[in-house]
Chains A and B, each alone.
Chain A
Amino acid sequence: MSILHRMTGVALSAGSLLFIGWLVAIASGERAYELFTSVVGSILGKLVIAGFVFALYYHLANGIRHLFWDAGKGFEMQQARRSGWAVVLVSAAATVGTWYATLI
């Protein structure tokens, strides 16, 4: 699980390039912006975005878990296993929820 925290962190660093690319597109004008949305709005683009959304929720939830560990809480094997599963479930549910919310 810990390696996933690092992997999602690295992925999200790449994702921040996409976010800054979005700002560049807006600043560059309507035509550049439409090119950007046509790429991100494609099926492949949407899949990548969904992956980034999941990585973001996972890194956020697992990061909070790490902060609790830093505070010396939740170290028991059973607690750690439970919170690990909670992180996976919460981030999966939040990804699906965000997906539905943006479609409506």
Chain B
Amino acid sequence: MKSLKTWLLSLGDESEGTEHWWHQRLSAVAMIPLTLWFIFAIATLGDYSYPSAHAFVSSPINAILLLVFIGTLLSHSALGTQVVIEDYVRGKSKVVTMILTRVAYMVLGAVAVFCLLRILFG
């Protein structure tokens, strides 16, 4: 397990290529069933009213699956975004963009988990 600091400041140099490649593939494979579940769940949500949306997220099995979905989605997205940044941003701005992006992903994950907990126990 990489420390938070290592992750925030790692800038995708060659030594990390293999690890990145594997993480991207593993998260991709995990996203296949999770995405199919997500589409099915949202498509069959009923009338999309507040009570039905709230009830959907409050169901324990849905809440757990949503948590796994959010975690896998954000890490898969972060890995992909890293490649895009590496391809189009150079020099100092690459470092800044990379760190800002990772901070944004962490904030996003925290917001999502907080909302999930609030819906469950609020």
Contacts and interface: CB of A to CB of B under 8 A. Distances in A.
Interface of A: 6, 9-10, 12-13, 16-17, 20, 22-24, 26-27, 30, 33-34, 37, 41, 53, 56, 60, 63-64, 66-67, 70, 98, 101-102
B84 A27 contact: no
B50 A23 contact: no
Contacts of B112: 20, 23
B106 interface: no
Contact of B118 (A27, A66, A70, A102): A27
A102 to B, nearest CB: 5
Given A26-B50, A27-B119, A56-B39, A13 B111 contact: no
Give the one of A34, A53, A56, A60 with max B CB within 10 A: A60
A23 B119 contact: yes
A87 to B, nearest CB: 14
Contact of B108 (A20, A37, A102): A20
Give the one of B28, B35, B50, B57 with max A CB within 10 A: B50
Interface in B26-73: 28-29, 31-32, 35-36, 39, 43, 48, 50, 53-54, 57, 70, 73
B97 to A, nearest CB: 14
A83 B94 CA distance: 35
B29 A67 contact: yes
A30 B49 CA distance: 9
A10 B81 CA distance: 7
Contacts of A70: 25
A67 B27 CA distance: 12
Ranked nearest first, the 9 interchain pairs of A and B with the lowest CB-CB distance are: A27-B115, A23-B115, A27-B118, A13-B77, A33-B50, A30-B50, A20-B112, A9-B80, A102-B43
B50 A16 contact: no
B50 A34 contact: yes
Contact of B53 (A20, A26, A66): A26
Nearest to A63: B28
B108 A17 contact: yes
